Amino acid sequence: MTRVPGLFTLVLHTHLPWLAHHGRWPVGEEWLYQSWSASYLPLMRVLRTLAAEERRGLVTLGITPVVSAQLDDPYCLDNMYHWLANWQLRALEATTVASPEALREFGSREHAEATRALEDFAVLWRHGASPLLRELIDAGTVELLGGPLAHPFQPLLHPRLREFALREGLADAGQRFAHVPAGIWAPECAYAPGMEHDYAAAGVGHFMVDGPSLHGDTALGRPVGAGDVVAFGRDLKVSYRVWSPKSGYPGHAAYRDFHTYDHTTGLKPARVTGRMVASADKAPYDPGRAERAVDAHVEDFVRIVVDRLTDESERIGRPAHVIAAFDTELFGHWWYEGPVWLERVLRALPAAGVRVGTLNDAVAAGYTGAAVDLPPSSWGSGKDWQVWSGEQVADLVQLNSEVIDTALTTVDKLHEQTSAVGARPPRDFVADQILRETLLTVSSDWPFMVSKDSAADYARYRAHLHAHATREIASAVASGRGEAARRLADGWNRADGLFGALDARRLPRP
């Protein structure tokens, strides 16, 4: 076996907005349970299998605090169990004599899959995701990437709230996993000049940007400015081979079609068949055909990685670093065969002579180059900030600014009222809930969904709902109605009780 020069890193970004207690269908908790069953359960199974083979440094796994909160939440855990049982029943219904033969066969396979998921969940997941992830981190199978609470678009955030969200997010990961991440996946890969200083102050040593932020030269990580914080760029030539805005493996005719439902059972029994084929004309899913496509795409991806590492190493005159980065939910939720492809790729790359490692491994092995000044950027359309700051979402930008100003002013007032000169104020549940609702208001998901016209009404509803919660509690504080403020904070907390360790006293002072 010929050793390929350099290092390959797979980075997965796991994120959904806070969905618990905020609707069920078509947008709401169903989104969480679909992603959990189709992506998170299979991914955990793959990583545990490979960890048992003592494979190390396989994946750099970003888990946002808001996803961690939901995967550990007792309410979400109970409802996930019911969702899996319902999936099993729907699959059983598809096996009845009244169903077409192709659907009966599909239902039998789906029933076996749902049964396995239920068994996995009952045995491994009933105490949440954190114990499982901690095992993988302890074993060195994955490197954990963290992020700020509630996934805000950081460049547009008030500096005080930006610092608070980042530090609280890292602390949240430390409490759940007994590991404070050394690196982060910045929400939307968004960067503004100077943010590297925030990262350094918070103990973050590296972060992800999209390839164009480094002008496409992603062969090495780059220290940003005069500091030591390293920016790693996604290699678009490799990443887009799997999935891009226009093409990628999941669109292959043999794979299961995401958009075509059997409306009686809610299952997805068709294959893609063709990009221009109407749902009613899609062919039945054929597992054997899909298996052959997976193997072909594994072989193709390994070839692309080997060629890219070889070419980039020759270009820069030293071993290069290639990073492929994706949303975790691509694997399973959007692309049913994705977890199988992922496991086979993680076996095939080392067999082909490719060294696989994490971002931490890259730093330790010196895969860094000359310092660089990064432009304002993101991984959104245009690779700039337009998705989160453009004219289409100008109202949300204004809403965020007003709500943040209200929150900071109110929390400062509460601390002034309860603090003796020079003393730390006692913890204030009202102040905590104000910041909790504010962070949910400024989640980057809402402008993204509006800009992409993806459940835009739901996104606007959620942004305004959390803004209303912030303002309602703050108004009671401003008018001196302390008891009313406490009742309101308690009421909103019943729906939005995530991040229980959030402590408003840690908000940076003006």
Distance CA 305, CA 301 (A): 6
Residue type, position 4, single letter? V
Q: Is 48 helix (H, G, I), strand (E, B) or coil?
A: helix
Strand arrangement of the beta sheet that strand 206-209 belongs to: 222-223, 230-233, 206-209, 183-184, 142-146, 59-63, 7-14, 321-327
As beta bridge partners, residue 321 has: 7
Residue type, position 266, single letter? G
* Rg, C-alpha atoms of the chain: 23
Compute CA distances 50 → 8, 329, 345, 353, whole Å.
Answer: 17, 20, 12, 18
Place of tokens 């997976």: 294
Contact 257, 273 (CB under 8 A): yes
Distance CA 327, CA 60 (A): 12
E strands present in 303-364: 321-327
Whether the ω angle into residue 26 lies within 30 degrees of 0, i.e. cis, is: yes
Q: Is 11 helix (H, G, I), strand (E, B) or coil?
A: strand
Q: Is 325 helix (H, G, I), strand (E, B) or coil?
A: strand
The pairing of beta strand 230-233 with beta strand 321-327: unpaired
The pairing of beta strand 59-63 with beta strand 183-184: unpaired
- Residues carrying an active site annotation: 188, 327
Contact 403, 438 (CB under 8 A): yes
The pairing of beta strand 7-14 with beta strand 59-63: parallel
| Residue 101: Cβ within 10 Å count | 8
Burial-class residue 420 by CB neighbours within 10 Å (0-12, 13-18, 19+): exposed
Buried b (16+ CB within 10 A) or exposed e, 55-75: bebbbbbbbbbbbbbbbbbee
Contact 358, 209 (CB under 8 A): no
Question: Which 8-state DSSP code applies to residue 223?
Answer: E
Burial-class residue 329 by CB neighbours within 10 Å (0-12, 13-18, 19+): buried
